[in-house]
Structure 1
Amino acid sequence: MKKLIFVTLCILIIAIPTVVIVLHYAQAQNSPQHAASLPSKPTQPANAWKAHVMAWIYPGPPACNAANEYKDGRIIDTLKPQYYTLNQSGVLIQLDAADKGCNAYSQENAADIKQHSAHQYVTVAGDATSMGALVTDQDKMLRAVNTLKTFVDTVKFTGVEIDFEEFSQWTPQQYHGYKSFLTQLGEALHQGGFKLMVDGPPMIADDTSQYQWRYEDFNTLPIDYIVVMEYDWQYDFGVGTPIAPLAREEDTTRGIIAKISDINKIVVGIPAYGYHGQKGSTKITIDTNAQSQMYPGYATAKRDNSSAEMMFTNAGVFYDYADTQTLNTRRSLIESLGIRNISVWHLGGNQWFSGKSEPRS
């Protein structure tokens, strides 16, 4: 009997600490301290924008403050400096800082752009004449493709943005050649791990007869992003009218969403600039916000409800500009439609968004 009691006591002496350890471990697994130590999935702040923001940068005055702006702490996911243009013969011309001044290409400027953004696209500008000369000549297209691929490989940018405009002047032959050029460029860039972005007009249903351009054509091309430039409507409706009426922005965006199969490829371009001109005239002068502030009557401006733009008239001259509220209103509208990428024209002397943090990349 004594031997049995002794064995039982030994078992208890060994078992009790083991049970205590197991219970302690189980409690620790369920304790708040343990839960807090596990890595948690990042969550989006409640007071954050939804769309990733891009910004264009063009060379020369009056946009020379662009570098100070993208370095001032604002978060800009994608920077898009214009480093190339097409001449009238359809040949790419690099815009060097030594000739074109601020914001143009130099190794230092390109490195600075890369340092202050998550993604970078070199913008190539052209009009109907220069584009026509390019896309109707296969040799010129091959040279342009090779030049641009070599450039992004050298500076290690994300990709190329093609901004050929004067869309209403394009012929069917030019439009066909344009799509051929994009196919060749997109395939070459993708082979190197780079991306292609293209810029298109702000078309609504009533505009389709004016253009060869059809957004649905781009679903099958090797394009990563397609930008809808939703501004410049003052040129259509004259001095005294908004740059980007909110209703037209909404109609245009809804129309594009219906035509592009992947909404994540859509980038909506919004304006930050202003303009002025004599009432009743068709002559329009583009202004940065910094320039607008220098005009007499700036402090008398009233907000236009149809566009959220600020407007005033002084001595027969009409002025229009965008402030932070204008930009916030436009962005809120575009984001409410499900768009996840926006692009601002332009950095350098204009206002910016406020009140919310930028989304995580």
Structure 2
Amino acid sequence: MRARFLIPLIFLLSSCATLRPPFEYHPKIIIAWVVKADTTSFLSLQKNFSSISIVSPTWFRFDSAGNIIADIDSNLLIFSRQNDLPLMPLIVNQGFRVDIAEALLSEPKVREMIADSILKLVLNGNYIGINLDFEGPFVNVRDGYTKFVELVSAKLHNYGKVVSVDVVAKTSEKFTGWAGVYDYSELGEVVDYFVIMGYDYAGRLDPPGPIAPKWWVEETIKFAISQGIKPQKIILGIPFYGRWWKGNEQGRGIYYPELKDVMSKYNLKKKWDRKAKAPYFRFKDENGVENVIYFEDEESLSEKLDLVNKYNLAGIAIWRLDGEPDKFWEVIKSKLKLKVFLTN
């Protein structure tokens, strides 16, 4: 059986040991999020699985009553088992709703209940762990979320399972908005992998701009490290998508299958944002409306992978697999030495 999974040797020796990442990372972990609703996402996984350390399918979400709503892709599940691909499913508060987060995180007994539900989910599914992706401006229960992550980590570590937490990127401490939910220092202490979502610098409500400018991504890494998080725990979230602003409309996400069609339709020539180290298109459509698309290419990807090596981070997490260019994977393999582990 191929060596793929990332459990440190200590867990092979003791099932009750507390899971922590290895002391040194030279090889890097490659986490890939896969979305069931998009068949292109699974096709990309099938094509590139040999370069992926962990697959994180977006299968699970909590409702306000603490029930886990599942939408498992049986084809992906079978494929992962056949190819020894470790699965670390993502779980969210449904719709990133504040009311659901508050209902689940306010009371200790409810936090205990949903933490037990996650443990049962991981054990019954024989997953390597869980990827916690609670999002939204639920700052009123910031402390409750920290306690919840601590609880999940303690329970899963008793079984040698991995806990990763996704956090909105920030360059300084905040206590408001989506980024204000996350206590970097406390979360970084208890989880195994601290996943900085290094994208959406320019979001859908913002004016046209880069998704993940290199200077900003570096500042988010530096801030996380300043909060006491060990670089060997930090996973840098990398965008495999762009954002399209059309006239006065909000920006919307655009993935490579659609981007290729737009490039062909308008015969677009790539421009380069020197400060952001990012490519973009600016053009007028057939109705004379100004369009701006910021996206990622192999050069902008390479710039961010250099930061992973510069700060000796644990690796990257890709949002998301979806028909990305082959050159992306060529750059990843040339820049990062991939981490492989025994599956069993």
Q: Would the TM-score normalized by the shorter structure come out above 0.5? A: yes
Bigger mean CA deviation after superposition, 174-183 or 141-150 = 141-150
2:186 corresponds to: 217
Partners of 2:47 and 2:204 in 1: CA distance: 36
- Within the candidate set 41, 63, 69, 2:44 is matched to 69
1:1-361 matches, within 5 Å, as 50-61=27-38, 64-73=39-48, 74-95=50-71, 105-116=72-83, 118-126=85-93, 127=96, 128-166=98-136, 169-172=137-140, 174-205=141-172, 207=174, 211-221=180-190, 223-235=191-203, 238-279=206-247, 281=248, 283-295=250-262, 296-297=265-266, 299-315=268-284, 316-351=290-325, 352-355=328-331, 356-357=333-334, 358-361=337-340
Give the count of matched residue pairs.
Answer: 297
Partners of 2:173 and 2:148 in 1: CA distance: 28
Partners of 2:73 and 2:36 in 1: CA distance: 11
Point out the structure with max Rg over C-alpha.
Answer: 1
Q: What TM-score, normalized by structure 2, do the two folds share? A: 0.78
Q: What TM-score, normalized by structure 1, do the two folds share? A: 0.75
Q: CA RMSD in A?
A: 2.4
Higher relative contact order (CA 8 A, sep 6+): 2
Partners of 1:298 and 1:198 in 2: CA distance: 41
Contact 1:77 1:117 in 2 (8 A): no
Which secondary structure does the structure 2 equivalent of 1:120 belong to? Answer: coil
**Percent of pairs identical after alignment?**
19
1:23 corresponds to: none
Taking a change above 3 Å as real, the CA distance of residues 106 and 243 of structure 1, as seen in their structure-2 partners, is: closer
Contact 2:139 2:176 in 1 (8 A): no
1:80: how far off? Answer: 0.5
Contact 2:199 2:211 in 1 (8 A): yes
CA shift digits 1:194-226 (9 cap, x unpaired)? 1111111211127566524321122443x1111
Which secondary structure does the structure 1 equivalent of 2:163 belong to? Answer: strand
Which secondary structure does the structure 2 equivalent of 1:192 belong to? Answer: coil
Which secondary structure does the structure 1 equivalent of 2:169 belong to? Answer: coil
Taking a change above 3 Å as real, the CA distance of residues 185 and 298 of structure 1, as seen in their structure-2 partners, is: farther
1:266: how far off? Answer: 1.0
Q: Which amino acid aligns with 1:54?
A: I
| Structure 1 gaps, min length 5 | 1-48, 96-104
